[in-house]
Amino acid sequence: MKRLIVVVGALALAGCAGTPMERAELVAEPSVCAPQRFDIYFRDSEAALTDAARHAIGLTATQLQACEIRKVDVIGLADARGGPDANLDLSERRAIAVREALEAAGWPAPAFSLMVAGESGSTTAAGASEPMRRRTEVIVDAAPR
């Protein structure tokens, strides 16, 4: 029985002509050059990037370095404190900080679309804690060059 399993397994790796196939022919590596979404979090009532945020932006910029960046939506958000006008201002400053960091990492400036939602436009599930709303959502349309 064991020999039959080995033979069947060997046949599964053979091509139509009976020759073994290379790993690259059998396994497709997912491309990093695909649409992606990530969040950058901020401290309460602040728009300055934290060290963790700079690190996340740097990693993402490096990962997508060989890709064509077609469009980048940067959406600034805030929690419910501070009132609507203050939250929109804070959300805008957060979005600008992220955009500037991505531009400094080499992403094309014309690709950016800046949006602010304050406390009202978050995609966070109902009942999420306030710190989860202190963020900027980044949606990247990337494709292979």
Cβ-Cβ contacts under 8 Å for 66 (sequence gap 6 or more)? 33, 145
pLDDT at residue 22, as a whole number = 78
What span, in angstroms and rounded, lies between the C-alpha atoms of 12 and 32?
29
> Could you list the mean pLDDT of each consecutive 10-residue stretch along the chain, which spans 145 residues?
41 56 69 90 94 94 92 91 87 96 91 85 52 87 93
Q: Exposed/middle/buried for 92, CB within 10 Å: 0-12, 13-18, 19+?
A: middle
* pTM of the predicted model as reported, rounded to 2 decimal places: 0.73
Tokens 């531009």, residue? 103
pLDDT at residue 118, as a whole number = 76
pLDDT at residue 133, as a whole number = 81
Question: Strand 36-41 to strand 112-118: parallel, antiparallel, or no bridges (unpaired)?
Answer: unpaired
Helix axes 51-63, 84-104, angle to 10 degrees: 50
Residue 61: count of CB within 10 angstroms of its CB:
17
Domains and CATH numbers, the chain: 30-144 (3.30.1330.60)
What span, in angstroms and rounded, lies between the C-alpha atoms of 25 and 12?
13
CA-based nearest residue to 132, from 40, 22, 29: 40
Structure tokens at 18: 């009976």
Residue 75: count of CB within 10 angstroms of its CB:
22
